[in-house]
Amino acid sequence: MEEKFVFDFINPVLVARNARLVKLVITYIYGLKKEWVYAGAMSKLKFLDAGCRRGISLRLMLEAGIRPSNAFGIDIDPDAISQARAMSAVGVDYRVESMAHLSFDDSFFDIIFANEVFMYMNNEEVVEASRELRRVINTSGLLFSVNGDTDLILPEGSDGRVKRNFNFQTNELQELISAEFKELCRLNFYPGGEQLKKLPQHISSMGEIEYKMDRNQLKGNYLLSVFKPN
């Protein structure tokens, strides 16, 4: 019997959050890496989505100018990679592998995403993964990583995996990866968990949430950190 592939439903809130991530990244690149933009280099940049799941962020980065042949995604879940391949443009390279053991050459990437990936690792695994990410990113590259702050109350068993938060007041994550990366800035990203449920009812759309967060009228307990390699 021929096996048929069936897509899971993709939560629109998840898509909106990934779209916000890409928007913040592109805005940051325009401000910091003007040579990438004005020289038309976006299409030449090599991009890795580490822990890509079904490739939502990666596909949005393609829309922002990354070429499919320069786009790579890894995840330890083979089912997620199968779905990412089925939904993405021809030429995108998806691989089933761990951040601790990457199959790419040294200094291969210009931009790396690690979106809510460190949240699934203990301290030793975070340090090990940061070493591999440092190995495969070039010296002028950027690492973008979304993680939950300590006041993010995570729903139990939301995706069958155990998440952890980081104390951004004490720079917990930044200290763990400090041997490999230096934090350039920290951006207000998104309210999650119980905080999202407690928002006033009139703040009902992603647009309103973004508007208030970008003007510091609403503090998120997910933060986007931008790192450069040491």
| Percent of the chain with pLDDT strictly greater than 70 | 83
pTM of the model: 0.86
Return d(Cα 50, Cα 115) in angstroms, integer: 7
Examine the pLDDT at 95 and tell me if it is beyond 90: yes
Within a domain: 46? yes
Which CATH number do you get for residue 151?
A: 3.40.50.150
Q: 6 pLDDT band (50/70/90 cuts)? A: very low
3 state SS of 189 = strand
What residues contact 49, with CB distance under 8 A and at least 6 apart?
55, 57, 58, 61, 71, 72, 73, 74, 112, 113, 115
Domain containing residue 130:
12-229
Within a domain: 114? yes
Tell me which of 63 and 181 has the higher pLDDT.
181
- 173, 118 in Cβ contact below 8 A? yes
Question: What is the tens place of the pLDDT at every residue in 68-93?
Answer: 999 999 999 999 999 999 988 899 99
Provide the domain count of the chain.
Answer: 1
